[in-house]
Structure 1
Amino acid sequence: MVAGVAGQPIAHSLSPVIHAAWIAAAGLDAVYRAFGPADHAAFAELVSEGRRGVLRGLNVTAPFKEQALALADEVSLTARACGSANLLVFEAGRVRADSTDGAGLMAALAEQAPALDVTGQALVVLGAGGAARAAAAALKAAGAEVGILNRTVQRAQALADELGVAVIGSGALCEAALVINALSVPPEIDLEALRPDAVLMDMTYRPLLTRFLADGRARGLTTVDGLAMLIGQARPSFQALFGLAPPVVDVRTVALAALGAVA
Structure 2
Amino acid sequence: MEYRFGLVGYPIEHSLSPWIHNKFILKAGFKGNYALYEINTTESFADRIKEIKNDMLDGFNVTVPYKQTIIPYLDDLDEKAAAIGAVNTVVCKGGKWTGYNTDGDGYLRSLIQAYPSIGQDTNKNVLIIGAGGAARGILYTLGQKGFNHIDLANRTLDSAHKLKDLFNLDNTNLLTLSEAENVLDSYDIIIQTTSVGMKPAQEKTIVNVNKLTKENIVSDIVYQPVTTAFLKDAENAGARIHRGHSMLLYQAQYAFELWTNIRVEINEMDQELFRQLEG
Please give the TM-score of this superposition, normalised by the length of structure 2: 0.84
Partner of 1:168: 175
Give the Cα–Cα distance (whole angstroms) in 2 for the partners of residues 40 and 69 of structure 1.
19
Partner of 1:138: 141
- 8 Å contact from structure 2 (residues 213, 238) kept in 1: no
- 8 Å contact from structure 1 (residues 51, 91) kept in 2: no
Q: What's the RMSD between the two structures over aligned residues?
A: 2.3
Percent identity (aligned) = 28
The 3-state SS of whatever aligns with 1:191 is: coil
Give the Cα–Cα distance (whole angstroms) in 1 for the partners of residues 123 and 27 of structure 2.
40
Partner of 2:189: 178
Partner of 1:77: 79
- 8 Å contact from structure 1 (residues 90, 96) kept in 2: yes
Residues 129-163 of structure 1, C-alpha deviations (whole Å, 9 max, x = no match): 11111111111112222211111111111111102
Return the offset for 1:64: 1.2
Q: Where do 5+ consecutive residues of structure 1 fail to align? A: none
Specify whether residues 175 and 108 from structure 1 end up closer, same or farther in structure 2 by C-alpha distance, changes over 3 A only: same
Return the offset for 1:120: 2.6
Give the Cα–Cα distance (whole angstroms) in 1 for the partners of residues 215 and 86 of structure 2.
32
- 8 Å contact from structure 2 (residues 212, 237) kept in 1: no
Specify whether residues 72 and 41 from structure 1 end up closer, same or farther in structure 2 by C-alpha distance, changes over 3 A only: farther
Return the offset for 1:54: 2.7
Partner of 1:256: 274
1:37 paired residue among 21, 36, 39: 39
Give the Cα–Cα distance (whole angstroms) in 2 for the partners of residues 194 and 248 of structure 1.
30
The 3-state SS of whatever aligns with 2:263 is: coil
Q: Quick one: which amino acid aligns to residue 91 of structure 2? A: V
1:152 paired residue among 152, 156, 172: 156
The 3-state SS of whatever aligns with 1:148 is: strand
Q: Quick one: which amino acid aligns to residue 207 of structure 2? A: I
1:126 paired residue among 120, 126, 129: 129
Q: Quick one: which amino acid aligns to residue 156 of structure 1? A: A
Describe how 1:101-250 pairs up with structure 2 within 5 A.
101-116=103-118, 119-144=122-147, 145-165=149-169, 166=172, 167-169=174-176, 170=180, 171-186=182-197, 187-194=205-212, 196-246=214-264, 250=268
Q: Where do 5+ consecutive residues of structure 2 fail to align? A: 198-204
Give the Cα–Cα distance (whole angstroms) in 2 for the partners of residues 241 and 131 of structure 1.
22
Corresponding pairs, count: 261
Specify whether residues 200 and 65 from structure 1 end up closer, same or farther in structure 2 by C-alpha distance, changes over 3 A only: same
- 8 Å contact from structure 1 (residues 8, 36) kept in 2: yes
Specify whether residues 193 and 140 from structure 1 end up closer, same or farther in structure 2 by C-alpha distance, changes over 3 A only: farther
Specify whether residues 249 and 153 from structure 1 end up closer, same or farther in structure 2 by C-alpha distance, changes over 3 A only: closer
Partner of 2:4: 2
